[in-house]
Chain A
Amino acid sequence: MDGEEIALMARYCDGDADAFRRLYARLAPRLLGYLLRMVRDRAAAEDLVQQTFLKVHRARAAYVRGADPVPWIFAIAHRTFLDDVRGKKRARVQVADDGAPPDLAADITGAPDGTRDGDDGTRELTAATLAALQTLPPAQREAVVLTKLGGKSIVEAAEIAGTTPGAMKVRVHRGYEALRKALGARPGSEGGP
């Protein structure tokens, strides 16, 4: 639980627009990183971030003073992603016919592809991991994104995804195993992520 986010949320509810902007600056990159991994399209992910914050804005009266707003906001992002997938059929595997990952990619912080550091091997592995991630079913992909990439605990990830910790553990395990298989099958690879 982060005290600053709690304080910012409280000030935002009191009508302080600057507090909202600071909350946005703290959380938007994390949400973007999460959503990028889910939709694999920067424009779509940025749009989902905007939709998420609009929903947060409209639901801000549901906030409880003293509570950590982050799991709630991530849960709103999760719901926004699901609604988007159901509405626009966007949950397709976006891998080209030749199996290459798409041009657009992003690193774990949500930074655009061109701004990342790292040598060619790391970049290649990252690209392969991101491409393999897109082959997972959405629930497993989200489980891996939230826990392995997002650093959330099993309990936090389950709360965000609206499932039980046990089910989340199974999704993470299956997703991780599928990723290991996918990356292990890469030409020249020696192991998993």
Chain B
Amino acid sequence: MTGEADEHVPPMGDLLDAELRDLQPVAPRRPWRDVAIVTAAAACAIGALVALLRLRRDLDALPTSWLVAYGAAWVASFGAGTWLALVPRRGAVMPRWRLAGIVGAVAAAGFVAAGLVFAETTAFSLVYAPTLANHLRYAAGCVALGLVTAVLPFVVGALLVRGALPVGARAAGAGLGAACGAAGGFLLHLHCPITHAYHLGFGHGGAVAVGALLGALLVPILAKERSR
């Protein structure tokens, strides 16, 4: 099974031959530039939404260490997921989809758990009656806002990786979706004044989990190679 068996080269089909007659140069993918583009898209989305919706009202009252640590976790999760879903190891074409999928799953579970465990509240935070209906309503609102934030970087990332994932697109999609969901989580961290543990877990962490699921569903479609 070697490439030297020239006498056994199957003939090139007419369609392929026709494509070659009109061969145009293309710019190969530059993964680090892609990461920069997705990061810029996420920063634009977060910046625009913060400007539109304003920062949370209890920002000054929250412990700085909690605020910084939680914020850093959102940013790190975005960076790690995006990097693994877009950048291949040296000498490879396909991104590290398996690791991206694992990191996406861990981030989804981790942010839900962290929200339930590490909630901080202040006198300026928004408190609602802790009924199931309220939990669901507010969580759904924050998941939706997180996903709105995630749409632009996610679509840009999926299109940039188009054709590079003949296998592993679902895992890479979960990683990219979770990463962009984490960008949404970062926006919620800056904007949402609700500090109930269930809300932080299922509302803010839920954006990562739902982002990972949607990414796993959509990237295999969006990242397919173009057909003419």
What 1/0 mask marks residues of chain A from 1 to 32 whose CB sits below 8 Å from any chain B CB? 10000000010011111001100111111101
Contacts of B3 in A (CB 8 A): 25-27, 29-30
- Which residues B98-135 have CB closer than 8 A to chain A? 98
* B161 interface hit (Cβ, 8 Å): yes
Q: Which of A1, A34, A58 contacts B226 (CB 8 A)?
A: A58
The distance from the CB of A80 to the nearest CB of chain B, in whole angstroms, is 8
Partner of B161, one of A26, A50, A62: A62
A96 adjacent to chain B (CB < 8 Å):
no
Interface of A is mostly: helix
Instruction: Assess whether A68 is in contact with B1, with CB atoms less than 8 Å apart.
Output: no
CB of A64 to closest CB in B, whole Å: 5
CB contacts under 8 Å to A, within B175-220, are none
Decide if A180 is an interface residue (CB 8 Å cutoff).
Answer: no
Does chain B have a CB within 8 A of A84?
no
B42 at interface by CB-CB < 8 Å:
no
Q: Is A138 an interface residue (CB 8 A)?
A: no
Tell me the smallest distance from the CB of A62 to a CB of chain B, in Å: 4
A62 touching B1, Cβ below 8 Å: no
CA A159 – CA B11 in complex, angstroms?
28
Which residues of A have CB within 8 Å of B30? 64
Q: For the complex formed, measure the closest distance between the CB of A182 and the CB atoms of chain B, giving whole angstroms.
A: 21
In the complex, A172 has a CB within 8 A of chain B: no
User: By the criterion CB–CB under 8 Å, are B9 and A28 in contact?
Assistant: yes
Contact A61 B28 (CB under 8 A): yes
In the complex, A11 Cα to B200 Cα: how many Å? 52
* Complex Cα–Cα for A107 and B27 (A): 38
Assuming the A-B contacts A58-B225, A62-B163, are A71 and B92 also in contact, with contact meaning beta carbons closer than 8 angstroms in the complex?
A: yes
Min CB distance B10 to A, Å, is 5
Q: How large is the interface on B (under 10, 10 to 19, 20 to 34, 35 or more residues)?
A: 35 or more
Shortest beta-carbon distance from A122 to chain B in Å? 17
Contact of A75 among B23, B31, B162, B167 (CB under 8 A): B167
Contact B168 A1 (CB under 8 A): no
Q: Which of B13-21, B70-78, B140-148, B149-157 contacts A (4 or more CB under 8 A)?
A: B13-21
Q: Give the total of A residues in contact with B, Cβ under 8 Å.
A: 58
Q: How far in angstroms is the closest Cβ of chain B from A22?
A: 10
A127 to B2, CA, bound (A): 20
Cβ of B6 < 8 Å from any Cβ of A? yes
In the assembled complex, how far is the CB of residue B21 from the closest CB belonging to chain A, in whole angstroms? 8
Known: A30-B1, A59-B164, A79-B167. A64 touches B28 (CB 8 A): yes
Asked if residues B28 and A54 are in contact (CB atoms below 8 Å), the reply is no
Of B2, B12, B94, B228, which one neighbours A72 at CB under 8 angstroms?
Answer: B94
Chain B CB within 8 A of A168 CB: no
- CB contact list, A51-101 vs B, under 8 A: 53-55, 57-69, 71-72, 75-76, 78-79
| Residues of B contacting A110 in the complex (Cβ-Cβ under 8 angstroms) | 1, 5, 8, 10
Q: Is A67 a contact partner of B164 (Cβ separation < 8 A)?
A: no
Q: Is A191 an interface residue (CB 8 A)?
A: no
- Contact A67–B88 (Cβ < 8 Å): yes
Whether A61 contacts B167 by the Cβ 8 Å rule is: no
Please, which residues of chain A bring their CB within 8 A of the CB of B25? 13-15
Task: State whether B1 touches A34 (Cβ < 8 A).
Answer: yes
Give Cα A15–Cα B29 distance, bound, in whole angstroms. 15
Partner of A64, one of B2, B6, B8, B88: B88
Contact (Cβ within 8 A) A62 B93: yes
**Also in contact, A62 and B225, with CB within 8 A (given A27-B3, A54-B15):** yes
User: Would you mind naming 18 contact pairs between A and B with Cβ atoms under 8 Å apart?
Assistant: A1-B91, A10-B28, A17-B21, A25-B9, A32-B8, A33-B1, A55-B163, A55-B225, A58-B163, A59-B162, A61-B26, A61-B29, A65-B28, A68-B91, A78-B167, A111-B8, A159-B92, A159-B94
* Interchain residue pairs A-B with the least CB separation, the first 3: A59-B163, A162-B167, A62-B163
